[in-house]
Amino acid sequence: MHTINSVRDSVSKLFDVDLSSSKRDTKHFRARSLFYKMCFSLCYRPTYQAIASSVNKNHATVIHSIKTFENNLKFDETMRGMYETLKEIHKVYEGEDDTTPSLIEDNKALKQRVVELESLGKVRMVSDYQEISLLSDLVDKLEDDERFLLLCKLDALYKLNKNKTK
């Protein structure tokens, strides 16, 4: 898994910019937007504040950038190319370190366990299981970054319930 600092260094080197600079030109804007997006794609559970602090920005700046990122990609061909380049670099050199498939498998296993417990009459923490079931049904409807965050939450609930049932 990548760290915020490793993503920052990668983006800074690739685009030859200082991401913590206060410059607002297009080159810096694109690089910072890509940095924010890549942090959410590559890092495990990044917070807006942690990302913002790493480049001397405010968390609201990161939130705004993430919200407008997809729209910027639609209309900015250069930014779209830069994003594709970054994605390829991380696939080729560092592999796809994506925990999403394992989280989906864990979620399926959890659903199966709920069915087993129900059949045995050992249903405890029904509200937690119902939450997980509801959340997992919503997963397919979400964007990639939203899906990853949701699956992280599901993973945490799964581990919590696993500890409670022991």
Q: Which of 43-47, 55-59, 104-108, 146-150 tops mean pLDDT?
A: 55-59
Every domain of the chain and the residues it spans: 4-94, 100-165
Q: What percent of the chain has pLDDT over 70?
A: 63
Mean pLDDT across 10-39: 91
Q: Which two tokens stand for residue 55?
A: 């480049």
Collect all residues with Cβ–Cβ distance below 8 Å to 83 and sequence separation of at least 6. Answer: 34, 37, 73
In this model, does residue 58 exceed pLDDT 50?
A: yes
In this model, does residue 56 exceed pLDDT 70?
A: yes
Q: Residue 3 burial (CB < 10 Å; 0-12/13-18/19+)?
A: middle
In this model, does residue 134 exceed pLDDT 90?
A: no
pLDDT in tens, 86-118: 888 776 344 444 445 556 666 677 777 777 776
49-63, 93-107, 120-134, range with the lowest pLDDT = 93-107
Mean pLDDT of the chain: 78
In this model, does residue 129 exceed pLDDT 60?
A: no
In this model, does residue 17 exceed pLDDT 90?
A: yes
Phi and psi at residue 3, to the nearest 5°: -110, 165
pLDDT of residue 66: 92
CATH of 4-94, one of 3.40.228.10, 1.10.260.40, 1.10.1750.10, 1.10.3720.10: 1.10.1750.10
The pLDDT-based confidence of 8 (bands split at 50, 70, 90) is: very high
**Do 150 and 99 form a contact (C-beta atoms < 8 A)?**
no
In this model, does residue 21 exceed pLDDT 70?
A: yes
Q: Residue 86 burial (CB < 10 Å; 0-12/13-18/19+)?
A: buried
Q: What percent of the chain has pLDDT over 90?
A: 31
Q: What is the dihedral of CA 143, 145, 150, 153, to 10 degrees?
A: 180
Mean pLDDT across 15-29: 92
**Which DSSP string do the residues of the chain spell out, in sequence order?**
-B-HHHHHHHHHHHHT--TT----SHHHHHHHHHHHHHHHHHBSS--HHHHHHHTT--HHHHHHHHHHHHHHHHH-HHHHHHHHHHHHHHHHHH-----HHHHHHHHHHHHHHHHHHHHHT---SHHHHHHHHHHHHHHTTS-HHHHHHHHHHHHHHHHHHHHHH-
